[in-house]
């Protein structure tokens, strides 16, 4: 009866360290810990699929929280049902209400449903707050999204070096701006793009 760990974050920019450390502290061997950096809404996730392929009847998959397993209530309940059909238990270590599907009592069934519902509600509220913040920022004329890697002055200097002094873009990026070529090419392409007619 093996203990398998599972950790997930939604994007490649996010860090798995906290979840992996918690799983290790819970006694999960790193060799049997699987992870993904992708949305829980994806039907196929390499880490999750690998954990399912390895798991056998009587094993337990331990996740940081229940929302790491599925993005919506439906996805989560389907995942739990699929595991149960195979005789595999699911346990979480950081949910406000402890989840352990080895206990099939009505109270634990309710706990699974409640935790899944709360997680989906929190995601919905987070999306609404983010959309509101973006709308407010746009109305106030503030930039939205990731800060540009190069300032307008740096791009203008690069254009001068390229067009007037004939310096190759790769040299400008490396020796003058200390950025990757792709970063400078993207900035120049954005600047050189024709302005749409009004």
Q: List, as one string, the DSSP characters of 93-151.
A: SS-SS--BTT--SHHHHHHHHHHHHHHHHHHHHHHHHHHHHHHHHHHTT---SSPPSS-
Query: What is the structure's pLDDT at 194?
Result: 61
The pLDDT, as a whole number, for residue 146 is 59
Q: Is residue 77 part of a domain?
A: yes
Report yes or no: 35 and 23 within 8 Å, Cβ to Cβ: no
> What does the chain come to in residues?
198
Q: Is-contact 154 177, C-beta < 8 A? A: yes
* Mean pLDDT value of segment 83-96: 94
Comparing 180 with 145, the larger pLDDT belongs to 180
DSSP conformational letter for 67: G
Residue 182 lies in a domain: yes
Are residue 115 and residue 157 in the same domain, yes or no? no
Mean predicted lDDT score pLDDT of the chain: 86
- Predicted TM-score (pTM) of the model is 0.64
Regarding whether 102 and 37 lie in a shared domain, the answer is yes
Residues 188 and 159: their CA atoms lie apart, in Å, by 8
**pLDDT score, position 198:** 41
135 lies in some domain: no
Examine the pLDDT at 84 and tell me if it is beyond 90: yes
Higher pLDDT, 149 or 26: 26
Q: Annotated catalytic residue: which of 10, 35, 39, 170?
A: 10
Whether 132 is in a domain gets the answer no
Check whether residue 98 and residue 166 sit in a common domain.
Answer: no
Count of structural domains, the chain: 2
Q: Which domain holds residue 81?
A: 3-123
Question: Are 177 and 108 in a shared domain?
Answer: no
For position 38, which CATH number holds?
3.40.50.1390
**Is 10 designated active site?**
yes
């Amino acid at each position: 009866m093996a203990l398998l760990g599972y950790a997930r974050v939604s994007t490649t920019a996010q860090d798995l360290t906290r979840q992996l450390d918690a799983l290790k502290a819970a006694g999960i061997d790193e060799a049997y810990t699987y992870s993904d950096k992708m949305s829980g809404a994806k039907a196929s996730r390499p880490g999750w699929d690998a954990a399912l392929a390895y798991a056998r009847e009587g094993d337990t998959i331990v996740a940081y929280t229940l929302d790491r397993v599925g993005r919506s209530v439906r996805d989560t309940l389907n995942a739990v049902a699929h595991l149960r059909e195979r005789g595999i238990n699911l346990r979480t270590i950081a949910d406000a209400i402890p989840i352990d599907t080895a206990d099939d009592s009505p109270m634990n069934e309710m706990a699974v449903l409640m935790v899944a519902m709360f997680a989906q509600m929190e995601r919905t509220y987070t999306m609404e707050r983010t959309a509101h913040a973006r709308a407010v920022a746009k109305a106030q004329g503030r930039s939205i999204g990731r800060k540009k890697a190069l300032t307008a002055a740096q791009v203008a200097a690069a254009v001068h070096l390229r067009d007037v002094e004939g310096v190759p873009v790769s040299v400008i990026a490396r020796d003058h701006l200390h950025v990757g070529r792709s970063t400078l090419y993207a900035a120049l392409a954005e600047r050189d793009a024709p302005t749409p007619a009004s």
